[in-house]
Amino acid sequence: MIITCAIDNNYIRHCAVMLKSLYDTNQREEINVYIIHGAIDEAERSKLAAYLGRFLSLVSFIKINPEILKGFPPFGHLPISTYYRLLIPTVLPPAIQKVIFLDCDLVVADSLNDLWNMNLGDYPLAAVTDHGVKSSCERLGLSESSGYFNPGVTVIDLNKWRKRDILSEGLEFVKSTRATLTNCDQDVLNHIFEAQWLHLDIKWNACPHLWGMYKGEDAPLTPQDEAARNKPAIIHFAGAGNTKPWNYHCVHPWKARYLELKNKTPWARVPLESQPPSLPVRLWQESLFRLRCLAKNVLVRVRNLLQVLQVRRMLKLIDRRPLYLNVETVNICNARCVFCCYDKIKIEPQVLPLDIFEKVIREYSEMGGGAVSLTPVPGEVLLDPHLIKRYEILAKYKNIDQVSFTTNGIAFEKYSDQELKYILRSSFMIQISIGGLNREGYKSLFQVDQFENVLNSISRLLNLKKAIDGDVHIHLAFRTNNPNFEDMHREQLEAFKRQGCLVSHISTYGNFGGIVKGDEAKDISIINGSGLKKNETCIYPLLAPSVLPNSSVTNCGCVDVNGDSLIIGDAHGQTLGECWSSQKRKKILRSFRQGKPVELCMHCSMYRDTRYFALPPHKNIRSYKKLPLEFYMMYGG
């Protein structure tokens, strides 16, 4: 049986109690324990190692660098060490395929043999549903049917975890939802593994609510809850303050068992926390606690209401017309990125005719105008022979207020300074996709030797921007296969920022509706979208249409790269408004609500339901005009 847990200085002695309880109830098992920790007191660590060595088969301490978790915020009583759990697939020996993670604030009261030998099937983990499921799901934008688990006791299939970049996915989630993150890694793991976990009997993680120690939003105890309370296999002292058995005021019925085990450890004489206050102080504290709970509950409900209103506002805004327009003027590319679908699609090289382009822009202007993206997926916009002419057409329509595009930057050298100045003056954002900060890494990802050329072009662009005193946003979007890229190149990235650049980085990639497969990709992580529940409308068909080089109009330029799955009209024979309100588009939107999206969408890893509109980048969107910069940073150029 292989067990792992995580400690900091405050939990060393509680780890000793937990592992002693594990041994006492599983003496027939060979138990190997891996303890993950950061910088802890060496004398205390040695004391713990000596004590555990008396009865456990193997005890291994794994020290990690806390800098790896930079960007993950602690919350309340939860320290940064709570995120150590996210490191399990990378720090445990590769030969280990399965492990049980145990929090240190628990007592094992029964054999874990059934838990260890259980079959996870296709699930990456097994855990127990936490109390207060409804509020947690609302706070994180999870569907209530998917549940919300407590990871204090988790059976983990490491092979499945290692196929995903848990740390990068978690950090991306934290950055976008920091305001609603209250349970640290528990929130992160529930987001990553939404509806992808096996539900365990509550006896394996019996939390204090079973004994009425705090109130969630659950119904009265079920027969299964009653059985777990009467005979729990694992008692988890989850929460803060008087839910902990080392707190003087704790009234948990299993506190006595904790103290009995504690008295067998080298920390037997460590006193309990919190001296008993006087009656007036205690009454004041209880009143204050109730007020805080009430205030917190009100704040959560207000925040949830504001998020619901924000989603409704966005849906109303995009009901009659798109939020922005994407026009793919060319489908030719000069790179062969290993994370891209370009080499896997079957389309003829094409350039969108100028007359069709002007027709689409005129119709978009008549709809009210707004933002226009010239980003081709796939393709390279700088290879468009009519790019300058297209900018001249766009300039004729005063209500076209934000023009942007994403490029690999290779072909900037083909443009004169005068042409680039014109593009800079006329653009809101230029996003440059660049494969890291060294030549070999760039070549391995982009499959062309253009690293120096792109760096020189970026420098040239910045100088030209300075010369014209332009306010265009230059966004360097780094693409690598290294989740630690930002930490490794912090000084260079800061130097770009000082020059006025926006900087972002990803090391996991979308699958273009299943066209790019993880097992075929070269040393990169491709997100598999097939396991996602998709019974609510995806936001991408709601936001914008994309006009393809052959004049077809697709409802999703992100993944309908062949232009054969989500076509809603033809710009040559129909107006943009007719395409947007067409029955074909309505059928696509209905297919999600019916639980039967087209095959491309079924496999797509880019799927986001409308609850995504509750995230901060949409907060300041009140009209089609002047979309906020945060919106561009979330959705790219």
What is the full DSSP assignment across 515-544? TS-TTTSSS-EE---TTS---S-BHHHHH-
Residue 553, strand partner residues: 547, 569
Residue 534's pLDDT is what?
A: 80
Among the ranges given (165-169, 177-181, 443-447, 450-454), the one the predictor scored with the smallest mean pLDDT: 177-181
For 153-168, give one letter per residue: b (16+ CB within 10 A) or e.
bbbbbbebbbbbbbbb
Of the pLDDT bands very low, low, confident and very high (cuts 50, 70, 90), residue 319 is confident
Max mean pLDDT among 83-87, 147-151, 346-350, 518-522 falls in 147-151
pTM of the predicted model, to two decimals? 0.59
Question: pLDDT tens-digit profile of 225-262?
Answer: 999 999 999 999 998 888 999 998 898 999 999 999 99
- The owner of tokens 């062969």 is 336
State the Cα–Cα distance between residues 28 and 94, nearest whole angstrom. 26
Do residues 26 and 122 make contact, with C-beta atoms less than 8 angstroms apart?
Answer: no
* Rounded average pLDDT over 296-304: 89
Sequence ranges of the domains in the chain:
2-201, 319-635
Q: How many CB atoms lie within 10 A of CB 2?
A: 19
Assigned CATH topology for domain 319-635: TIM Barrel (3.20.20)
State the Cα–Cα distance between residues 256 and 21, nearest whole angstrom. 13
* Rounded average pLDDT over 539-557: 92
Question: pLDDT tens-digit profile of 326-345?
Answer: 999 999 999 998 888 887 77
Question: pLDDT tens-digit profile of 94-145?
Answer: 999 999 999 999 999 999 999 999 999 999 999 999 887 777 777 777 877 7
Q: In a 3-state reduction of DSSP, which class is residue 170?
A: helix
Of the pLDDT bands very low, low, confident and very high (cuts 50, 70, 90), residue 178 is low
Domain 2-201, classified CATH 3.90.550.10, yes or no: yes
Residue 75's pLDDT is what?
A: 62
Residue 262's pLDDT is what?
A: 96
- The owner of tokens 């659950």 is 218
**Measuring CA to CA, which residue among 116, 4, 115, 117 is closest to residue 59?**
4
Q: Do domains 2-201 and 319-635 have the same CATH topology?
A: no
**Measuring CA to CA, which residue among 427, 531, 420, 416 is closest to residue 474?**
427
Is beta strand 149-157 parallel, antiparallel or unpaired with respect to 125-129?
A: antiparallel
Higher pLDDT, 595 or 462: 462
Of the pLDDT bands very low, low, confident and very high (cuts 50, 70, 90), residue 40 is very high
Helix axes 255-262 and 12-25, enclosed angle (nearest 10): 100
Higher pLDDT, 114 or 183: 114
Of the pLDDT bands very low, low, confident and very high (cuts 50, 70, 90), residue 354 is very high
Do residues 158 and 198 make contact, with C-beta atoms less than 8 angstroms apart?
Answer: no
State the Cα–Cα distance between residues 510 and 315, nearest whole angstrom. 25
Q: In a 3-state reduction of DSSP, which class is residue 411?
A: helix
Of the pLDDT bands very low, low, confident and very high (cuts 50, 70, 90), residue 215 is low
As a whole-number percent, the residues of the chain with pLDDT over 90 amount to 61
* Rounded average pLDDT over 270-279: 78
Instruction: Give long-range contacts, CB 8 A cutoff, 24+ apart: 67-74.
Output: 67/487, 68/167, 68/484, 68/487, 70/487, 71/171, 71/174, 71/175, 72/170, 72/171, 72/174, 72/184, 72/185, 72/188, 73/174, 73/178, 73/181, 73/184, 74/184
N-terminal to C-terminal alpha carbon distance within the chain: 50
Question: pLDDT tens-digit profile of 46-93?
Answer: 999 999 999 998 999 999 987 888 777 666 556 677 788 889 999 999
Please give the helix or strand (H or E) that residue 48 lies within, else none: helix 42-52
Residue 277's pLDDT is what?
A: 61
Q: Residue 329 corresponds to which tokens in the numbers above?
A: 């003027």
pLDDT at position 9 over 80 = yes
If you count them, how many residues does the chain have? 637
Residue 249's pLDDT is what?
A: 87
Q: In a 3-state reduction of DSSP, which class is residue 369?
A: coil
Residue 217's pLDDT is what?
A: 44
**Position 384, amino acid:** D
State the Cα–Cα distance between residues 406 and 327, nearest whole angstrom. 12
